[in-house]
Structure 1
Amino acid sequence: MRIQRILATTAALTCLAALPACKGEGQAAPPGAPAPSGSASAGAAGGAAAEGPLVRAQQYMRQWAGCEDLSAKADDPRMPDGDFPKTGKWSVTEIGVCSTTAEKSDIVIAVPKDMKEFQAGYKKHVLDKISGGDGAYGLVSNVLIGKDFVAFPTLPKTSMALVRSEMRVLTCNPTAPVPKGYKREKALVEDCGLSDFVAAEDGSGSPNFETPQNPSDGGGEKLGQPKSGSLGLARAGSIPELRNLVNNSPLACKDHFSTDPEAVEIESIDYQPVVKGNATDWGVSGRALCGQPAGERRAHDLSWLDTVGDMKKLQTKAKAAQQADLKDDGTLRATASMLLVGENVAVETNKPAARFVLYQLQFLYLNCVPGFSAPSGYRLEKAQVEGCVLTNYEPEHPVR
């Protein structure tokens, strides 16, 4: 998994969204420029008007990615069957679809009358999903904003080609990360961002140069798996340093944090730590609680930060606890925290959205499920205890 954070004035944003006029063969003409010979007829053949915003969007995207067989027919089997984009929703007036050739994938195109209204609608959609319990929704986005159209490529490879233009990925999940080296620009609505970083669930998106790159890439080894050792893990010298490291994750450590021993021992039926009892027996040297203990309302957002003096001891005890949990019904309790470890630190949390961000900070999950394997593109490294691995792949919580 992969990633790190988003979010210039409205005038600057307008310039950003304006697609460039370029001269010379193979460079982009702005949407609305005269079509190259034969382009309009190619679009019209699929049922789209020979002129108009759909054809202009097609002409623009062709400079970076294939967009053939343009169609605006509602019964085209390539049209999306989800709840967006839809004509009449979020000010969308037209919907079209075209296909790439090399990747054999599709690009849905939406034309909004009001781009700000569209972005506001998408933001609400994302936040509704998050409030409904899907905290990771929108962390991987295929919503690409152009000057007067929005594209929805079905493959990250197509998105990566299109962001070489002035098109940008729209993200409205507040924890969606943008690694260093990528553009971070304001959207037309608050708390959303535009970027040229393409996140992908399977690791096939834009490379994250903030995390160590696999030295065996191209050498025949399985992508994401080092030949030996580790690709790198998070570390911190103290609990305050660890808190600062994870401060921008959804762990609630910024506003609700305590190292008081009595507070650290608090747990609830909804939020259960990995480390129980005497922390030193687990190899833990320092411990803190993030989140709110019970008060006027029940305890919520509880997670734990650990500095670790003996990582092998921690992993050994955590393996035993995890396997005891698995004995009940073969699955881990949803309310039980998962242990994410670094070199000398660990975080215990049951929040998938928080773990998604922690993976970008080079924490890895201690997985002791028998027979577990991770797909190519995810990290999979040896743990310090036999029968477990360290990984950033969670089959039960795939990123949307």
Structure 2
Amino acid sequence: MRLQRIIAATATLCCLTALSSCKEGGQPGAPAASPSTSAAAAAGPLAEAQQYLRQFANCDDLSDRPDDPRVPAGDFPKAGQWSVKELGVCSDKVRQGEIVIAVPADMKQFQEGYKKYVLDRIDGGDGAYGLESRVLIGKGFVAFPTSTKTALALVRSDLRVLTCNPGAPVPKGYKREKPLVEHCNLSDFVGSEDGSGSPNLETPQDPAGGGEKLGQPKTGSLGLPRAGSMAELRTLVGNSLDCEKHFSTDPDAVAIESIDYAPVVTGSAPEWGVTGRALCGEPAGAQRARNLSWLDTVVDMKLLQTKAKAAQLADYKDDGKLRETASRLLVGENIAVETNSPSSRRGLYQLQFLYLNCIPGFSAPSGYRLEKSKVEGCVLTNWEPDHPLD
């Protein structure tokens, strides 16, 4: 569900959506005739940028026309913001995308403007904004490719991707360079929700494998919840889930799924290391199911996490993202909860439950928990890039 964005600019209107990323095939079509090129675009900073870009990707039909139909529509930055003085667009038809070019008068001011915009979007509730940035910083200009394939071609140059979302990963093996503003990154890693970006073969990193971060123990765990029975577990999660009035341990009820709610544990619960299971919420009746979640008492946590890892990776492999209707597994010491409700998970994190995350390349920013799981290639965390804690 991560938002895919493109950035473009006109004399009065530019698109910042590419600062996050751009969905392939979503660009406006190229104009029927080659766009006109002004003298300034043909023999100035835009032309110099075009000449550089052409060493690594196509950049044809350069234009600085504000009404060029190849420029995607959007909201910010307007001409003059972030010290941008010249704007243009060219086409990479081979890779089916456009490249918007911005020439700032002050590169530091530009990077400060982008950083502030990203943080404002995150503060406004869009916690995933900027995770898949397409802001490529060059010497004297900035390129915004709308195609992931174009971005991959361009990072083979000295252009570097500027990311200012604290959760944006830069896996091992990629270059890291210091931008002109603090708490941002410059790298040659191109992130992409659909897996078409730079390859990331890292497994999630646990605290024992690297530097110390706030909120993470050097070894062991900061603590996980436990319960002696299903009744204790129901009481423990009562304020986070719809368990007080709508609760059942009846096998037929527990086996219920709906189009909106899919459990983690399927089939025989003992084969997952689960000894007891309950359903919270209202199963489908006259109306659609509401607030479904599942409670588990666990005798073999390693087995549960092993099978949950396989299910999670199978879901992720299908299209490079997890289904919104699929529950996430939050675990304690001998208990677990399955829910697809972000708000419910926030409450469970307050109870010290942690989410089993097995997505390759996952990392958590400072201040969030990141602990070892029972299985290789997974971590326990309370960081969700799409749904960060307030």
Cα deviations across residues 311-346 of structure 1 (Å, max 9, x unaligned)? 28975xx99xxxxxxxxxxx859xxx62289xxx99
Equivalent pair of 2:329/2:336 in contact (CA under 8 Å): yes
Q: Output aligned runs, 1:251-400, within 5 Å.
A: 257-259=222-224, 261=226, 267=237, 283=273, 308-311=301-304, 332=325, 338-339=328-329, 350=342, 359-361=359-361
TM-score by length of 1: 0.51
Cα deviations across residues 259-297 of structure 1 (Å, max 9, x unaligned)? 36489985585689999xxxx997379xxxxxxxxxxxx
Q: CA deviation at 1:89?
A: 1.1
TM-score by length of 2: 0.53
Cα deviations across residues 125-174 of structure 1 (Å, max 9, x unaligned)? 11111112221111101110001110000111101111111000000011
The whole-number CA distance in structure 1 between the counterparts of 2:159 and 2:172 is 19
Unaligned stretches of 5+ residues in structure 2: 2-33, 244-262, 265-269, 276-297, 313-323, 347-353, 364-385
Equivalent pair of 1:48/1:55 in contact (CA under 8 Å): no
Which residue of 33, 37, 62 corresponds with 2:54?
62
- Match in the other structure for 2:159: 167
The residue identity in structure 2 corresponding to 1:199 is G
- Match in the other structure for 1:377: none
4+ runs deviating over 6 angstroms: 245-250, 262-265, 270-275, 345-349, 354-357
- Percent identity over paired residues: 53
Equivalent pair of 2:104/2:140 in contact (CA under 8 Å): yes
Equivalent pair of 1:64/1:161 in contact (CA under 8 Å): yes
Which residue of 122, 136, 150 corresponds with 1:130?
122
Which residue of 92, 99, 110 corresponds with 1:107?
99
Alignment: residue pair count: 254
The whole-number CA distance in structure 2 between the counterparts of 1:77 and 1:176 is 31
The residue identity in structure 1 corresponding to 2:301 is V
The whole-number CA distance in structure 2 between the counterparts of 1:356 and 1:120 is 35
CA RMSD of aligned residues (A): 4.9
Equivalent pair of 1:99/1:106 in contact (CA under 8 Å): yes
Q: Equivalent residue of 1:54, what SS? A: helix
The whole-number CA distance in structure 1 between the counterparts of 2:140 and 2:61 is 20
Q: Equivalent residue of 2:99, what SS? A: strand
Q: Output aligned runs, 1:31-46, within 5 Å.
A: 45-46=36-37
- Match in the other structure for 2:378: none
- Match in the other structure for 2:141: 149
Q: CA deviation at 1:60?
A: 0.6
The whole-number CA distance in structure 2 between the counterparts of 1:210 and 1:188 is 28
Q: CA deviation at 1:189?
A: 0.5
1:63–1:200 CA distance, 2 compared to 1 (3 A): same
1:356–1:261 CA distance, 2 compared to 1 (3 A): closer
Q: CA deviation at 1:209?
A: 3.1
1:129–1:94 CA distance, 2 compared to 1 (3 A): same
The residue identity in structure 1 corresponding to 2:273 is G
Cα deviations across residues 50-92 of structure 1 (Å, max 9, x unaligned)? 2211111001101111111111111111123212343111111
Q: Equivalent residue of 1:75, what SS? A: coil
The whole-number CA distance in structure 1 between the counterparts of 2:100 and 2:64 is 10
Equivalent pair of 1:243/1:253 in contact (CA under 8 Å): yes
The residue identity in structure 1 corresponding to 2:129 is Y
Unaligned stretches of 5+ residues in structure 1: 2-42, 212-233, 235-240, 286-305, 320-330, 364-396
Cα deviations across residues 169-222 of structure 1 (Å, max 9, x unaligned)? 0000111111111101111111100000111121111111325xxxxxxxxxxx
1:362–1:201 CA distance, 2 compared to 1 (3 A): closer
The whole-number CA distance in structure 1 between the counterparts of 2:359 and 2:118 is 21
Q: CA deviation at 1:103?
A: 1.6
Which residue of 51, 54, 75 corresponds with 1:83?
75
